[in-house]
Amino acid sequence: MSPDPVISLENVQVDFESDNGLLGAFSKPDVVNAVNGVSLEIPEKKVVALVGESGCGKTTLGKTAIGLQRPTSGSVKFRGQDIWEARDGGSDVEVPYRDIRRSLQIIHQDPGSSLNPNQKIVKSLAAPLKKWQPGLTREDRQARIYGMLNRVGMSPPEDYANRYPHQLSGGEKQRVVLIRALLMNPDLILADEAISALDVSLRIEMMELLLELQNQFDTSFVFISHDLSNARYLTEKSDGLIGVMYLGELVEIGPAEQILEDPRHPYTKALRWATPDLLPGDDGEVPLRNIDIPDPVNPPSGCRFHTRCPEAREACKQSSPESKVVNGEHRAACFREETTHEYWNSPPLDDVEPSSDAKTADD
C-alpha cells in the first residue's frame, strides 16, 4: 500500500437501526451491522473496486470512506486528518473540513436524480466553479465547461451545454455528473454503480473514459459494483485493487490478477464462478452449500460465511478470521491461510463434505 494514502479506514463499523413498521413502534429497533471492523487504505491515484452481492455493505463502506456516512466506531482519515474531528470542529485540525468535502466527490448510479431538471447543463456545471473558484469570470467558467464537455466527447459543447437533463441520454447524463465532480479538482471520486444502468455497449466506453480522466486528473477512484467483470476491467488497466465484501466484512483484497487467478477466500471463488465470462467453459458445481444469504440483523457467529462455505469446519463457527497477507497487497480473511490454525484439526460441519484439497496441520 501507499505510505501516504488518500483515505485510510481503521476498524470501521457502521450500524443502522432497521424500521420495524407500525407493529414494532413500541419495541426496540433491530440493528443492522452494515460494515463490521473494516480496515482499508485507498492509495494515491489508484482505483479500488469493491464487489459483492446486494446488501453486502459495499456502498455503505464507500460512503463512509468519503465522509458521507458517519461510522459508529473506528476512524476515517483524509491524508492523516480524521474527517469527523474536522467536521465537528476539533481543536487539532490540520485539514479544514471544507477542503475535505471538496476533495471527496461521488457519482451515482442514477445521474438524472442528481441533476436539476429545470436547469440547463451549463448552469449545473457552473455551480461548483462558482462555489470553489469564485475568482473565475463568467467567460473563464464557460471556457472550462466547454473544454470538459469536449474532453468527454460531448461535441459541439455549446449545444450540450444549453440542453436540459431530459434531452440527454443516460450515458450523456453520466458524463455530465462526472464532469461536475472533476470540476471540484477532487482527490477521490466514489463511483457508486456508476455504469450498471448503462447498456452493455456503453459500459466499456464509460470505463475507458473513467480511466482516461483518472490518469489525466491524478484522481483516485472507489468503484462500487456487483459485477466482477467490470471490476476486473478497471483494475487491470489501472494497476488497481479489487476488494471483496461479504455481510459487511472485507474478506479479500488484492490486485486483479491475484484475486481472479488465485482467489483465497471461498466467497471470492463463488463470485468468480458466478461470472461466466471469467471462467469460460466451467460447468463445475456451484462453490456454495447454501444459496440463501443470512439475515444481516442476526449474522452467523464466527466467520460470517461459514453457513454457505463448502470448506467450513467447526472452528469457523467459533471465531472470525483476521485478514492475513497472502502476497504483497493481496490479503484474505480465512483460516485456511494459517497452516497451524486449529481449523485444520477441526471436523467439517455436519452438512459439509471434506474438501478434496484439505490440508493437515503438518503440511
**Beta pairing, strands 81-82 & 330-332:** unpaired
Give the closest residue to 250 by CA, choosing from 268, 232, 230: 268
Query: Tell me, what's the pLDDT at 25?
Result: 56
CB 264 within 8 A of CB 336: yes
Distance of CA 193 to the CA centre of its chain: 9
Sequence-distant (6+) residues with CB within 8 A of 88 are none
What tens digit of pLDDT does each residue of 314-327 get?
999 999 999 999 99
| pLDDT one digit per residue (tens) for the chain, 363 residues | 445 899 999 999 999 987 665 555 566 788 999 999 999 999 999 999 999 998 899 999 999 999 999 999 999 999 999 999 999 987 789 999 999 999 999 998 888 788 999 999 999 999 999 998 999 999 999 999 999 999 999 999 999 999 999 999 988 999 999 999 999 999 999 999 888 777 777 888 889 999 999 888 999 999 999 889 999 999 999 999 999 999 999 999 999 999 999 999 999 999 998 887 776 656 667 788 887 889 888 999 999 999 999 999 999 999 999 999 999 999 999 999 999 999 999 999 876 554 444 443 333
72, three cell numbers: 459508529
- Is 0.85 surpassed by the pTM of this model? yes
345, three cell numbers: 484439526
- Does the CA dihedral 113-118-124-128 come out positive or negative? negative
CB 120 within 8 A of CB 131: no
d(C-alpha 39, C-alpha 76), whole Å: 9
The sheet that has 81-82: what strands, in order across it? 31-42, 7-17, 73-78, 81-82
- Does the CA dihedral 229-234-240-241 come out positive or negative? negative
Q: Which CATH number fits domain 7-118+164-345: 1.10.540.10, 3.40.1360.10, 3.40.50.300, 3.90.550.10?
A: 3.40.50.300
CB 265 within 8 A of CB 251: yes
CB 343 within 8 A of CB 315: yes
CB 170 within 8 A of CB 86: no
What tens digit of pLDDT does each residue of 112-135 get?
788 999 999 999 999 999 998 999
